[in-house]
Structure 1
Amino acid sequence: MYTLPFPRPHRPGSAPGAGVVLTLALLLALPVTAQADQGWNTSGDLRFGYVSSETRPRSGTNSDADSFRIRARFRIAGEMGGNWRASARAAARLDTGQSKDEFWLRTYAPTVAGLENGQGTIDEAYLEYRPAQSSWSLRMGRFQAAFGINDIMKKSLDQNDSSNFDISWTDGLWWQWRGNDWTTHVIARHNDRRGPTGTLRRPLDFTDNGSRIGLFAAAESRTAIGPVVQRMVTLTWLPSALRPNGLADPALQDYLAVTAKAAAEWPLGQGGTTFRLGGELGLAVDTPRREAMNTGSGDTDALSWQTSFSFMDVLPEHDIGIVYGRIADGWLVSSDFRPNDELLEVRWVWQATPAWQLDARIRRRQEIDLSTSAARPRRDDDLYLRATWRF
């Protein structure tokens, strides 16, 4: 089997590249297993591209980095009989600048964004029960859950597993109920004492026994009412998980965040181009102190928002989008937005074929609030050019 010649450290007692070799072996072996039974099917995607970034820190020298990156995922899924369905997926994230190579299979993620470069894992492994002719289903195990605005960026202030090149996941139970116009989701997620599997940022902490189970709930409708094509409300509840004075302080609070998301669409002219306006507003009920977030003194802000402007089919299968957001320093539950950040992003998407999609993005992020010792806000500029093949 061929593996990419990315630099990787040698660790005594193990073969260099063993982690990624194991993951890629799983990716190649799963189709063979799936072919043994006509009731099972395979799918997946390969995403690769060039990423570049430049950081201007609060103090010190500017830094920049660029690399070529790949994310590979392969799924096998099928019916088991008795209204049961199973799905499993292997995933790997590779980068020309990676410094490690390993297979990660634990009940927590190694970083706040999920896997690091050079790591592979099983990012799906679940059973789903859906009674015949029923409107509800229950999923149990490890799965992917994403609840973004229905635009070309699909960003979210809360639950959004495995965006961009990231690999993250949710462990727990997912109950869904599908009505005529609305779909309701309730997710009970497990949070390991060593950390979560998705993006839940410090000073959220899960060492207390009461913080092991978190709750996410959402109700969404994509039934069009005039120009409105999406409506959604969500709630995230993390009991006994917030350390408002920082991780070193024993004080604990629940963390509760709610959002409202919507998108509306209008035609532009007679050529098939449409304009889609998206928006999301989020409120965190209890927030940490600014001393814990290194953003000054007093209570952190609780209100966050984003708005997007998408021009669909400006040319056939070509979309252009702009998103702007301001994220409070007390907002701790988004994989797409960092706390205490102002974000501006422009993206171009070309759906070249049903299987191939090309994307280009340029983005600027800058801090909003600073501590008194900070000389200037941190600013990050980055871009990527990527292609995704789905099969």
Structure 2
Amino acid sequence: MTATVATSHRTRTGWVAPLCWSAVVLDGVDLVVLGVVLPSLLTERSWALTPGSASLISVVGLVGVMLGALATGAISDVIGRRRTMLLTVTSFSVMTLLCAFAPNPEVLGLLRFLAGLGLGGVLPTALALVNEQAADGHGGRATTSMMTGYHVGAVLTALLGILIIPSLGWRWMFALGALPALVLVPLLLRHLPESGAYLTAREARRSAGSSAPATTEAPAGRPAGSVGLLFRHGLARSTLAFWVTSFMGLLLVYGLNTWLPQIMRSAGYELGAALALLLVLNVGAVLGLLVAGRVADRIGTRRAAVVWFVASAVFLALLSVRLPGVGVYAVVLATGVFVFSAQVLVYAYVAQVYPAAARGAALGGAAGVGRLGAITGPFLTGMLLTAGIAYPWGFYLFAVVAVVGALAVAVVRSRSAS
């Protein structure tokens, strides 16, 4: 009987990585779906969109993702990872489907905001689950492997846009973006187990509560809830450092993904070459994710994150030099290898530093504050393009951002989460 139970448990935990990977694919879908449909939205005569108002829809959606990440991480520490994953995937998918029926830009912006609230919780919850399920010493590899789903979702959505929009129109992109929920939600219901670390932390809280006098408030001087734990027991410095690092990391990710082709165009590259460089950048991202986790498990996650940010700064600075022929492709590939997985290593490190009782809140805080960087990156780079100095100063700016990210993660106090 004991052997049967153990086998059943191993079978269920074996579902964690593929189900979380599938959920993170949705984040990749959201990364590019609006960019894919924007050219079509701008041609909707009754909507009268301008590039400025269309950008506002994008920003509103990112604000929703930020708020969702900040709130849902703490919620998962209370109601559990499994329930939170079901709630976030379902709500995001429903709101994305409703986007297909938006009658005007205002409604589309509102629905993108509401979809963002759900989507924002997907990543921190998935990160908590895979790290709590991963074997000791393999959290880095588990995190980076899961995050390949992010880029798979982005690439698939871009390809679908090429195939679907000319024949069926932009609304079908949102309908197809919601379609995975028809398969994923039933699989989550049936196969996703609750995190063992969360269950242990919950039982510890219950035991502590039953042995303490009944009260409706936290003791004086003690912040209530998992969010309060982020600033206690010597974790305040680490929390602030992770927030700074995540801000810088996502500034780089979104700034490069949004404006790299246009920056290279301003440097004199042909449009085809500029777009090819964006593809090479994301190929490098996948390669970096496959390598970074293994390196982190071997030399330590903090050390790997610092190395990755420093290498990002070096290659970003090199892009300020007009390189001949294959040289620019090699440097862009290396930039993708380090920039994208540097931020993922930050998530892996967050999961290692904080105890299970606050891990969801910690990951949600890092992802949520990072989304401010996701908004800031495209905005700052757009300003440099408008001023006509994005090349080479955009790459100098990105290099400095990477250095700040390295310095911030270096001051995190290393400790083992329980």
TM-score (ref. length: structure 1): 0.24
TM-score (ref. length: structure 2): 0.23
The higher relative CO (CA closer than 8 Å, separation ≥ 6) is in 2
